[in-house]
Amino acid sequence: MTYLHNIGTYFLMIKEMFRKPTKWSVMKSLIFKDVDDLIMGSLGIVAFISFFVGGVVTIQTALNISNPLIPKYLVGFATRQSVILEFAPTFISIIMAGKVGSFITSSIGTMRVTEQIDALEVMGINTINYLVFPKFVAMMLYPFVISIAMFLGILGGMAACIYGGFSTLEDYITGVQMDFIPFHITYAFIKTFVFAFLLATIPSYYGYYMKGGALEVGKASTTSFVWTSVMIILLNYILTQLMLS
């Protein structure tokens, strides 16, 4: 019953998020602050991980294509498919569940512990809209982060391929361009928007409805990371089944 209660409360929170909006002059500054914290603050770690994981994917692929009859351009093809279809949208989202999700849960949870949320409610403010909606809007820019992850993943693969001596630049670029299906980009960005919604709302739920003191803030951050990751993986499977099968 606890799970059903949590699911029901979560959807009620989403409904409340769009009701009785905060005036735009206040909301605008909140949105810009969350864009800076959640999107701009994540670019460094996303760029670093994307570049080197793209390189690792290329090396692993090249080492497993040892048959001389298999063309070398398949290294670039396999890297592109891996990065665009799964690594960039899904793997980066799970990392972001740890970084962004923990930040959202702890920041809102700390406001709950220190009774700042109660003070906002006394002032007649819709606290769910005030706290959660700016994060939701900021995370709608999340596909921008994923597009950078895609580019750097393929670029890292190219660097590893050339400097590792696995194939030539021409072969790698041929593989990246071979049999390209534009719908795969659409599929990746649809997944990304769904994951962005989860990254904004599930950690906000655990932060907003937490009970207890400072110790419980850490527990809520851990729980939000676990459930955000579970939902990302589950919806990744469902969306892949619906859109690619």
Residue 180 has pLDDT above 70, yes or no: yes
Tokens of 118: 């109660």
Residue 66 has pLDDT above 80, yes or no: no
Give the CA angle between residues 124, 130, 136 to the nearest 5°: 155
Query: Residue 48's pLDDT is what?
Result: 94
Q: DSSP secondary structure string, 192-236?
A: HHHHHHHHHHHHHHHHHT--SSHHHHHHHHHHHHHHHHHHHHHHH
> Average pLDDT, stretch 79-94?
89
Does residue 152 carry a pLDDT above 90?
A: yes
The whole-angstrom separation of Cα 65 and Cα 87 is 20
* Mean pLDDT over each residue of the chain, to the nearest integer: 88
At 193 the pLDDT is: 93
Q: The whole model's pTM is what?
A: 0.88
Assess whether pLDDT exceeds 90 at residue 79: no
DSSP H stretches of helix in 18-73: 24-34, 43-64
